[in-house]
Structure 1
Amino acid sequence: MATLRIDRTAADPDAVICAIEQAEGYIASICFKTGPPETVGVELEYTVHASANPATYVDHDRLCQALGDHAPPTLRAGSAHLPLRRGSAVTLEPGGQVELSTLPQRSLTDLHEAVGADLAELTGRLAHVGLELGGTGIDPHRPPRRMLSTPRYDAMAAAFARRNDAGRTMMCSTAGLQVCLDAGPPSRWAAVHDLGPPLIALFANSRRHAGHDTGWASARMRTWLAMDPSRTRQVPPGPDPASRWARYALDAQLLCIRRPDGPWTVPAGVTFADWVAGAVDGPPTYADLDYHLSTLFPPVRPRGYLEVRYLDTVAGPDWFAPAAILTALLADEPTIDRVRELCEPVAGQWALAARLGMTDPALARAATEVRDLALSRLDLPAALLRDVIEGSTRNGS
């Protein structure tokens, strides 16, 4: 679910896309809204466990009882799907992972207060029925098992199964911490990618999955890298990120096509560009293109704002550390320039970061240096600064 609002006035959603150039122009126009950075939000995913025995699977009705009128319609048909007290929405991933999507906030202090209140409300609701949130990027106790069945999730499962089991694991066992930032100046796009490997290493905490040691510092990131490179690899770097993203999106394979009746599955290997060219069904609309964009999962996804998707979720209040560090490191051009210098020795080392984390000397050095740079730039009350320090030293492995 999107955290920051997007202005989608570029086209009538029901209008048909007749040419690739139309799709490219539309994507480029909506996905990068440059300007001064003003807001920040987070999307926090968590596996959910029975407090008495975290290795057991959570019952659908028990989770429904916990969430009440905040439950999404995918869990309880006809639910009012009310936001939590401070405006965060609750959604569920296919395996029953809970996601908390915040409203955008003008400052890190406001974000800390709002998320803290809504996270406490969510935690209290779960505790009332004997449930608790996990605190790592992948389920350390249980093999993947789906809780929810929707046309989208059924089509996703079918598409991912053609390649390997990683898609099933992603859908049912992984939990990420996403930081959502205004797109800001173009330099932010490059810097937020450069920060990927060091910050993956710094916050990696998902070595154990389904009761076994995977040997990877972030088994969650390993899972994402193994799924479907056409939708999970980094958007190729270059001087014109909007056009690179447009080409990436059109070359990505279709995950599903929405239909009023019948399954949403699509033939293997068909891209959105192929659909425009007449490969399947009728011609796509701009609404179809919007939906296709929601099925792409690169480490950083442009949605009018930047959705940073490469971090393992963390336990309790530690979510604030990565949000604050990213905000500080992308605050202005001089800081961005310094970030890029510090990250240059490990640029592009996504898999190495996921596998070795802070045990790799170069990654550990870059991660420590950017963390220290962020701490020197943060203007926060002492208690919040302490949260950042503690939350950024607990996880790296």
Structure 2
Amino acid sequence: MHATAGPPLTEQDAEAYLARHAFHTGAPRLVGLRVEWLLRDPTDPGRAVPAPRVESALAAHGAPRHGRHEVAPSGAITVISPPYRDLGECVRRTAEDLAAIRAGLASGGLAPLPRAVDPRGATTAAAALRVRLDVGHAGSGPLGFRRRWALAHAVGPVLLAAFANSPTTAGGGWRSIRQAMLLRLDPRRAAPPPGGDPRESWSRYALDAPVAPLAGPGTVPVELTFRQWLRAGHPRRPTLDDLNRHLDTLLPPVRPRGQLELAMIDGQPADGWPVPLAVTAGLFADAQAGDEALTATERLHALHEPYQRGPWARAARHGLRDPHLAAAALDCFHIAYAALARTGAPPAVRGAVADFIERYVARHRCPADDTIATLTGGGTTAPT
């Protein structure tokens, strides 16, 4: 990592910073999201879209009113909502921002891909939808941060399976090649953190993860963990900027960034993003929903399988074709729907969730199955 300004960190400084900033405890009220889109030129779909062309298209017409956007060097775009106290307001204002972005893109002859994977290069480009929720109270009750941390990891494979939308047909097919790529990374940087107290677990995970090397002077060898770098102090002593940059390279399915960021959901087709947002918010809406969802997903995690072969892997490969995930998903979606009704979610949002249940969950399907059926002439095989 390049040399950065600021005083050097000690190991104790880093642990204290992680405990203080990763989990902002308090009453769980806020919800937000990040929507990632891969882009295409419909007149030349095989060609990558350069970032300057995207920025040019958005400059005149595509500025979001409520949130903000970022354009990656690859040309992919991320629209980031602020946190909202009301799910309906989050959906309404994010829809306005996305409509503005879509109009700006259209003015430049561009459009979002309907899938979370780029057919030009499935191993290098994939899009996610990241739901952000409050961590929860400092205590150990049903709305406390320990319970909500456990809930996020319990329902994560269900959300991954139900909303998988980055399919492949090679090698038996994956419903989420995006998650498959993460499964192939070093588990110290991409697997869920180990159990235990969330703050202690996250601190150990973050500091014991290898540092991603960057070109330039003062590069840290890839085999060095951040904790080892802190202790060794060479090729130079790390700073807080280095720690924050290191945290940005970690890719677990649930990320504590003040709020909880659920990062396992694939980008959705067209305007399908409100459904995963609403289902996730519903599962976290109150103590009843959380307790019921933990019960519904208990069997998925009972075998304590390795990350590369357990429910996260089965969800990525099979989606809801896995019978255990399908059963848990049907329960979780009904739990979320009931919670949305209890908490006064807009009828249109509840209707979209009900439609998704009927079209996909009740039929043991996910959006990726639509693409696979098209590419293979209609058939998919059950998991073995």
Q: Distance in 2 between matches of 1:382 and 1:87?
A: 23
Q: Distance in 1 between matches of 2:34 and 2:127?
A: 10
Query: Residues 313-324 of structure 1: matches in 2 within 5 Å?
Result: 313-324=267-278
State the secondary structure of the residue aligned to 1:377. Answer: helix
Residue by residue over 1:51-96, the C-alpha shift from the partner in whole angstroms, topping out at 9 and shown as x without a partner, is 22422222444223212279xxxxxxxxxxxx93323221133432
TM-superposed CA distance for 1:336, in Å, is 1.1
Match of 1:197 in 2: 157
Gaps of 5+ in 1: 1-12, 71-82, 145-168
Match of 2:18 in 1: 27
Task: Tell me if the contact between 2:39 and 2:111 (Cα under 8 Å) persists in the aligned partners.
Answer: yes
Query: Residues 267-306 of structure 1: matches in 2 within 5 Å?
Result: 267-278=221-232, 280-306=234-260
Q: Distance in 2 between matches of 1:256 and 1:388?
A: 42
State the secondary structure of the residue aligned to 1:143. Answer: coil
Q: Distance in 2 between matches of 1:101 and 1:222?
A: 25
Q: Distance in 2 between matches of 1:297 and 1:244?
A: 15
TM-superposed CA distance for 1:31, in Å, is 0.8
The code of the aligned residue for 2:43 comes to A
Distance 1:138 1:264, change over 3 A: farther
Task: Tell me if the contact between 1:86 and 1:115 (Cα under 8 Å) persists in the aligned partners.
Answer: no
Q: 1:108 aligns with which of 71, 81, 87?
A: 87
Residue by residue over 1:250-287, the C-alpha shift from the partner in whole angstroms, topping out at 9 and shown as x without a partner, is 01111146x9xx36743121111111112532211223
Distance 1:113 1:50, change over 3 A: same
Does 1:219 find its partner at 2:165? no
Distance 1:263 1:385, change over 3 A: farther
Query: Residues 74-93 of structure 1: matches in 2 within 5 Å?
Result: 84-93=63-72
Task: Tell me if the contact between 1:319 and 1:391 (Cα under 8 Å) persists in the aligned partners.
Answer: no
Distance 1:264 1:113, change over 3 A: farther
The code of the aligned residue for 1:269 comes to E
Q: 2:117 aligns with which of 91, 116, 138?
A: 138
Q: 1:235 aligns with which of 152, 170, 193?
A: 193
Match of 2:134 in 1: 182
TM-superposed CA distance for 1:23, in Å, is 1.5
Does 1:382 find its partner at 2:382? no
Q: Distance in 2 between matches of 1:391 and 1:318?
A: 9
Task: Tell me if the contact between 2:278 and 2:349 (Cα under 8 Å) persists in the aligned partners.
Answer: no
Distance 1:255 1:193, change over 3 A: same
Match of 1:173 in 2: 125
State the secondary structure of the residue aligned to 2:8. Answer: coil
Task: Tell me if the contact between 1:207 and 1:213 (Cα under 8 Å) persists in the aligned partners.
Answer: no
Q: Distance in 1 between matches of 2:29 and 2:168?
A: 37
The code of the aligned residue for 1:241 comes to P
Task: Tell me if the contact between 2:219 and 2:235 (Cα under 8 Å) persists in the aligned partners.
Answer: no
Match of 1:37 in 2: 28
TM-superposed CA distance for 1:116, in Å, is 0.3
Distance 1:324 1:60, change over 3 A: closer
State the secondary structure of the residue aligned to 1:177. Answer: strand
Task: Give the aligned length.
Answer: 339
Compute the TM-score of the two structures, normalised by the length of structure 1.
Answer: 0.80
* RMSD, aligned α-carbons: 2.2
Match of 1:251 in 2: 208
Distance 1:317 1:59, change over 3 A: same
Distance 1:67 1:228, change over 3 A: farther
Residue by residue over 1:89-143, the C-alpha shift from the partner in whole angstroms, topping out at 9 and shown as x without a partner, is 211334321111111111111101111001001111111121100122211x202
Gaps of 5+ in 2: 137-143, 302-309, 361-365, 370-384
Compute the TM-score of the two structures, normalised by the length of structure 2.
Answer: 0.83
Q: 1:312 aligns with which of 266, 269, 273?
A: 266
